[in-house]
Structures are given as C-alpha cells and as structure tokens.
Amino acid sequence: HRLCSTSPPFLSKTSASRSASTLVVAEHEGGSIKAQSLSAVVAATSLGDDNSVSLLLAGYGSSLLQAAERAATCHPSISQVLVADSEKFANPLAEPWAKLVQLVQQKGGYSHVIATSGSFGKNILPRAAALLDVSPVTDVVEVNGPTQFVRPIYAGNALCTVRYTGANPCMLTVRSTSFPVPPLAADSKSNGAPISHVDLSTLDEDSIGKSRYIKLSSEDTERPDLGSARIVVTGGRGLKSAENFKMLEKLAEKLGAAVGATRAAVDAGFVPNELQVGQTGKIVAPDLYMAFGVSGAIQHLAGMKDSKFIVAVNKDADAPIFQVADYGLVADLFEVIPELLEKFPEK
C-alpha cells in the first residue's frame, strides 16, 4: 500500500530550497567512515542536482583525523569534510553531538541534515532537530527531490509519501539498506575534498548534558556487522537455548555470515540484544537471510523482509515466515542445522 499525505493548503509553500546544501552527520570507526554513513551521502545525492554535501565527523585524536582524510576521497559527491576534534566527542554521547549539529547548522545554514537510522542517528538527529526547532522526517526509504520522501509506517506494512513543509533545515534519518553504495568507477573517485576544523569555542561547557559514558560492551567477533552483512543467519525461540545458538554461530562462521535473532530469543536470554532483527531491532537487507525456528511475526518481518533471498526452516507448515520465504523447509531445525554443518565445507 502507498498512502499519500498532502500538505494542508495553507502550508503549500515549503522553505526547503531546490538547490540543496546538505550536512551528513557521519560515523567513523578505526580510522574509516562507516559504510552506513556513505548511504546517507547516496541519499543526499537525490535531494537536488546542484547539492553540495558536507560531511561532519566528530571524535578525538588521531583516528578521527585518519577517518577525515579517508572520507575526503571516498565519494565524489562530498564537497567538504568538517572535523570536530574534542574530548567531548571521545565517546558517542548524544547530547554534545546534538549541540554540535546545532552549532554547525547555524554557521552553515544547510537546507538538509541527514544521518542513517541506526542507533547513532536515531539518538542524535531528533535531539538536534528539537534544538533547531524543526520536526525530523525519520526512517526514509526513498528520496524524491528536496522535500518529498517515502517512509514505512505500520511496522513496514504500508509506505507513506510525505512532503516536508517546515522551516530549514529539513532533517532526515535514512535507512542505509535502501540507499546501497554502488562501487565507484576508478575514474569517478574524488580527488580529495577540503578538510576544515569546526570552531568549537562557542560550544557550551555544559553540552555534555546529563548522561555519562560508562563503558562500551560489544561482542568481540570476527563475523561481519549485522547491519551490513551479505548473509544473515537468524535464530528464533525454536532454538530453545543459548547453548543451541552455538550451532548457528558455527554455521555463520562457515558461511561468513552475521548472526541475528528474534526478540523472543533475545528476551529469553539466548543472545544479546544487539543481535535483534526487527521493528525494534536492526533493519537488515542481506543477499541471503536464513531463518531457523522463527515464526515470522510482523515485527520481525519489518526488519528483514527486504532481504533478496529468504530461506526459512520451521516445523510448523503454517508459520507466517513461509509467506515471505523464497525457499521454505518444513522440518526440525535440530536435524537441518547439523546436516548443513556437515555439508558446508570448512572455511
């Protein structure tokens, strides 16, 4: 379904301009810009023909500067890289970041501000929008010009076309899975956008806000990141225990895949919350999604139904997962997974 929301007649003129200038709020890790943030650059290119894209990177120290240098040459659409280097940005706390976006926006007067809708963007962009007194448009899956966007509603069961009629800037979070980054031809690589440092002298001392960074705990794994993996192997409540999830981990290792889980599996304590796929978890769209012991609840489908090939194994022939599966096997996963482990060669 596609719903149309037209703006009220008294708001028919929008202030977001046709020639866009966009600020992309980007994430970096280990001295490189994250692949998801490049999707926000791809989304920005659909905002207008003569759109100039500035990339904002914040952090502290040498890995930030390395990321800025790499970012400057990673996409021809990036016309400048803005660097905010301060101890305040050493950890990803939303408050100082939101203040930074406000500061940079007020100096640069951008028509659009974009971040991807991962936990980073979802945390920062709405706060920055509140500081700038505008309403963000979230979870955008299609950009049709500077003011018209498509976003899912009702847990992804309908798509809604919205027109932004508010003041500048128009602030968007975009789904990285909807804006894949095409491999760049060698001759279209950027020669290097200029890098400038943001003057942080006017940033309030109290911009740290009320939150305090305690620690980052993350699974130290060789497997690919769930959000950008080409293959995802997901387990549901049907796996029955944390111990049984180890079978899936082994399968993921053999396939070079990321492991995902349903909320029921997370709530039962089989796996940590960061593996949850779905409406309230991660949104994924890999080339191959394999679901074992997953019923296919609407909230789970919302996070994976755009995968290119879906394979489901469930012992209940009526499980709703089979309605979205390209290949379905009605079978006991405790027989199927060991068989797959035996048949797939060691990596």
Per CB under 6 A, 265 contacts ligand FAD: yes
CB of 313 to ligand FAD, least distance (A): 6
Nearer to ligand FAD, 43 or 319 (CB): 319
| 122 contacts ligand FAD (rule: CB under 6 A) | no
Quote the CA–CA distance of 140 and 151 in Å, as a whole number: 5
Q: Which residues fall in the annotated binding site for FAD?
A: 237, 262-263, 276-280, 293-300, 314
Is 98 in contact with 59 (CB distance < 8 Å)?
no
227 binds ligand FAD (CB under 6 A): no
* Type of residue numbered 220: D
Among the listed residues 314, 325, 328, 337, the single contact to ligand FAD using CB under 6 A: 314
Nearer Cβ to ligand FAD (34/263):
263
CB 275 within 8 A of CB 259: yes
Site for ligand FAD contains 281 (CB under 6 A): yes
Alpha-carbon 240 to chain mean position: 29
Contacts with ligand FAD in 284-303 (CB under 6 A)? 293-295, 297, 299-300, 303
Give the integer Cα–Cα distance in Å for 177 and 141.
8
| Least distance from ligand FAD to the Cβ atom of residue 24, Å | 27
Round to the nearest angstrom and report the end-to-end CA distance of the chain. 43
Query: What binding mask, one character per residue, do residues 177-216 give for ligand FAD by CB under 6 A, x or -?
Result: ----------------------------------------
| 68, 160, 163 from 29: Cα distances, Å | 11, 33, 34
Query: Residues 158, 11, 3, CA angle at the centre, nearest 5°?
Result: 10
| Least Cβ distance, residue 89 to ligand FAD (angstroms) | 30
Q: Is 117 in the site for ligand FAD (CB under 6 A)?
A: no
- CA count, 13 A, side-chain hemisphere, 276: 20
Q: Which among 83, 325, 289 has a CA at the least distance from the CA of 197?
A: 83
- Chain residues binding ligand FAD by CB under 6 A are 236-238, 262-265, 276-281, 293-295, 297, 299-300, 303, 313-316, 319, 332-334
